[in-house]
Amino acid sequence: MVELALEQAQDAFEKRPKDVAAMIDLARVCIECRDFVEAQEYLDRALILSPGNPDIMAQMSLNCLSLGESDRAMELARHLRAVNPAHPFPGMQVAQIHLKNNRYDQCIEALTSVEPDLRNPDEWGVVMGTALVAAKRHDEAEVALRGVIDSSRTTPTGKAYAWFQLCKSLEMQKDYDGAWAAAAAAHAVLPRRISAEKHRADVDALKEVMSRKALAGWARATHNYEKVVFVVGMPRSGTSLLEQILSMHPDVANAGELSAPSLMQRRLSKMTDSFLSWPYCIADMQERDADRLQAIYAKAIGALGEGKVRVTDKSLLLVYQMGLLTLTLPGARSIMLHRNALDNIVSCYTTHLACLGHSYTSDLGTLAKVWKIRRELQDFWMENLDPAPIKLHYEQLVANQEAETRRLLEYLGLPWEQRCLEFYKSDRIASTISFDQVNKKMYTSSVERWKRYEKHLGPAMEVLGL
């Protein structure tokens, strides 16, 4: 219902352009859409009209953290705590900022200072457990996480988060059977499952109407949009790492996971007044529609792209949208990122993707089917898009970082930048699951990780024919 929410919020704002509540609502929807740049514009405007408003300051701090602006996020949280000590938000936010900056002891200290009656039991326990795991204080971490799991007040999602962190702790201690059992317990408490049939139907339809010959016949935008670089890959395939490497280049901005491509896809049928469903409604798109969709994307990256040659977008659904994006953003470049199937599947299964809507990760057989389907579609785009994407393997990137980075920069038409090799020195905080990994030096320990869990991977290996 996100598109409806966005339309309602925009309509309310247009009717009451000086209404602070309408601005906050619209900013919250933008944040839900991962359009953090636009959300910040509305929050800045709201704070001018209502200086010191605690709700605005709290929302701004969250949004700044999503933008990677941890210093400003911290400043806002501390200011809010100073002016409103009883507000439940600042203590937890300060802890989260320390956690995302890999300052684990400071995170634990901040959590300890939060008054018990101001603690959200789910969030407090999970963040405390996460920080303790990262600090390798595993016994204490288990106490905190078991407290979340065993509490009658904890939601199923909160329990799942705790189980996933316990999984990470046990793996760090080399208890691989225990880690796998914890991941299985996390998936067991989550109520929703999804099959691979919808993914298969979507891919078959896309291949039918988005071949190179078909794309040449559909309407496209009148102007090229060469600034954007799409990083296309399965979740947990290395997209955050790649984006962090590229963002160290002075000519590259990092947009994270934008919702604009999904919004463009959803609006196409209504915009064209088509009786056809996606993706067949592409037949009714006219040049002016493609131009309007391009304007939606340009607005989403906003000021982020000013003065930059390239802007990266790593939205996780891009693999299903590349045909539409080729027509609406002609000239855009794309990187098809691949990772060993079993390593990718293990990483998806043992992290909290299922808590974020990726329900297919809760079943190994379904997860393997989705991996195969998405890989098939990536290969299809390699053959049919213009300009042709460049293929990159995660294993080659971590083993030969400089050579692969040079190859990528050449493809993007950018000069060599030594700082790309020192991506871990970035001041930026990744807003994805991988935030604690992309701020470390390159490592290869995640390659062939699947071998630790081989005896549990039967359903996936059967689907993959291994």
164's tokens: 């996933």
Contacts of 449 (CB under 8 A, 6+ apart): 343, 346, 347
CATH of the domain at 60: 1.25.40.10
Give pLDDT, residue 435: 47
231-264 per-position pLDDT tens digit: 999 999 999 999 999 999 999 999 888 888 988 9
Domain termination residue (choose one: 189, 207, 224): 189
Lowest mean pLDDT among 41-45, 83-87, 334-338, 446-450: 83-87
Residue ranges making up the domain that contains 254: 197-464
141-196 per-position pLDDT tens digit: 999 999 999 998 899 999 999 999 999 999 999 999 999 999 999 999 997 777 89
**CA 265 to each of CA 225, 294, 299, 335, 460: distance values in angstroms, whole numbers, following the listed order:** 17, 11, 16, 20, 31
**CA 427 to each of CA 112, 248, 423, 438: distance values in angstroms, whole numbers, following the listed order:** 26, 10, 9, 11
Nearest alpha carbon to residue 205 among 373, 385, 361, 375: 373
Q: Are residues 162 and 212 in the same domain?
A: no
Q: Are residues 226 and 334 in the same domain?
A: yes
Helices then strands, each counted (H, E), the chain: 22, 5
62-73 per-position pLDDT tens digit: 888 887 788 888
Confidence class for position 270, pLDDT limits 50, 70, 90:
confident
104-114 per-position pLDDT tens digit: 999 999 898 88
11-54 per-position pLDDT tens digit: 899 999 999 999 999 999 888 777 787 888 899 999 999 988 88
Q: Are residues 263 and 411 in the same domain?
A: yes
Asked whether residue 430 carries a pLDDT value surpassing 60, the answer given is no
- Residue whose token pair is 């600042």: 90
Q: Are residues 363 and 304 in the same domain?
A: yes
Note whether 360 and 268 are within 8 A (CB).
Answer: no
Handedness of CA 18, 20, 21, 25 (dihedral sign): positive
Handedness of CA 330, 6, 38, 320 (dihedral sign): negative
Domain termination residue (choose one: 189, 213, 239): 189
**pTM for the whole thing?**
0.87
Say how many domains are in the chain: 2
Give pLDDT, residue 434: 47
CATH of the domain at 349: 3.40.50.300
Confidence class for position 272, pLDDT limits 50, 70, 90:
very high
Q: Are residues 253 and 118 in the same domain?
A: no
Note whether 29 and 5 are within 8 A (CB).
Answer: yes
Reduced to 3 states (helix: H, G, I; strand: E, B; else coil), residue 139 is: helix
Reduced to 3 states (helix: H, G, I; strand: E, B; else coil), residue 335 is: strand
Confidence class for position 429, pLDDT limits 50, 70, 90:
low
Q: Are residues 380 and 430 in the same domain?
A: yes
